[in-house]
Chain A
Amino acid sequence: MSVTTHTPSPALPPPSRLMAGGPLGWVKANLLNGVFNSMITLLLAYLLVRYTISFVDWAFLNAIWQVPNDRFGRADTSSCRDIKGIGACWAVITEKHRFILFGTYPYEEHWRPAIVCVLFIALYIVSAMRRFWRKELVLVWAVTLTAIGLLMWGGVFGLSYVPQERWGGLPITLILATFGLAFAFPLAIMVALGRRSRLPAIKALCVVYVELIRGVPLISLLFMASVMFPLFLPEGLNIDKLLRAQVAIILFAGAYLAEVVRAGLQSLPKGQYEAAEALGLSYWQKTGFIILPQALRLVIPPLVNTFIGFFKDTSLVLIIGIFDLLTAAKTAIIEPQWQGFAVEVYVTVGLIYFIFCFAMSKYSAGLEAELNKHRKR
Chain B
Amino acid sequence: MSAALSSSRHLGKPAIQLLGVNKWYGQMHVLRNINLEIAEGERVVVCGPSGSGKSTMIRCINRLEEHQQGQIIVDGIELSDDLKSLDAIRREVGMVFQSFNLFPHLTILENCTLAPIWVRKMPKKEAEELAMEYLTRVRIPEQANKYPGQLSGGQQQRVAIARALCMKPKIMLFDEPTSALDPEMIKEVLDTMVMLADTGMTMICVTHEMGFARQVADRVVFMDRGEVVESNTPNELFGNPQTDRLKLFLSQILRGH
Contacts and interface: CB of A to CB of B under 8 A. Distances in A.
Contacts of B149: 374-377
Interface string A351-377: 000000000000000000001011111
Contacts of B101: 269, 271-272, 274-275
Given A269-B101, A278-B95, 20 more contacts: A272-B101, A275-B95, A278-B90, A278-B94, A279-B90, A279-B114, A279-B119, A279-B163, A280-B87, A280-B90, A280-B91, A280-B167, A289-B114, A293-B105, A294-B105, A297-B105, A374-B149, A375-B104, A377-B149, A377-B150
A368 to B, nearest CB: 13
A208 interface: no
Contacts of B99: 269, 271
Interface in B149-208: 149-150, 163-164, 167
Chain A interface size band reads 20 to 34
Contacts of B150: 377
Category for how many chain B residues contact A: 20 to 34
B24 interface: no
B64 interface: yes
A105 B234 CA distance: 86
Contact of B64 (A277, A290, A374): A277
A374 B167 contact: no
Interface string B97-110: 10101111100000
Nearest to A374: B147
B115 interface: yes
B25 interface: no
Contacts of B97: 271, 274-275, 278
B115 A281 contact: yes
B62 interface: yes
B104 A374 contact: yes
A275 B157 CA distance: 13
Contacts, number: 68
A269 B148 CA distance: 15
Contacts of A294: 103-105
A282 interface: yes
A294 B101 CA distance: 13
Interface of B: 62, 64, 87, 90-91, 93-95, 97, 99, 101-105, 114-115, 118-119, 147-150, 163-164, 167
B105 A374 contact: yes
Nearest to A285: B118
Contacts of A280: 87, 90-91, 115, 119, 167
Given A280-B90, A280-B91, A282-B87, A275 B62 contact: no
Contacts of A289: 114, 118
Nearest to B104: A374
A38 to B, nearest CB: 46
Most-contacted residue by chain B among A280, A282, A285, A294 (CB, 10 A): A280
Interface of A: 269, 271-272, 274-282, 285, 289-290, 293-294, 297, 371, 373-377
Contacts of A269: 99, 101
Contacts of B90: 277-280
A276 B119 CA distance: 11
Contacts of B103: 272, 275-276, 290, 294
26 contacts: A271-B97, A272-B101, A275-B97, A275-B102, A277-B62, A277-B90, A278-B62, A278-B90, A278-B93, A278-B164, A279-B163, A279-B164, A279-B167, A280-B119, A281-B114, A282-B87, A285-B118, A285-B119, A294-B105, A297-B105, A371-B105, A374-B105, A374-B148, A376-B149, A377-B149, A377-B150
Contacts of B148: 374
A278 B119 CA distance: 11
A176 B93 CA distance: 50
Contacts of A272: 101, 103
Contacts of B62: 277-278
A80 B126 CA distance: 75
Contacts of A281: 114-115, 118-119
A290 B148 CA distance: 14
A373 B146 CA distance: 11
Nearest to A275: B101
Contacts of B64: 274, 277-278
A289 to B, nearest CB: 6
Contacts of B95: 275, 278
A15 B46 CA distance: 53
A148 B147 CA distance: 42
Nearest to B119: A280
A272 B93 CA distance: 17
A133 to B, nearest CB: 14
B56 to A, nearest CB: 13
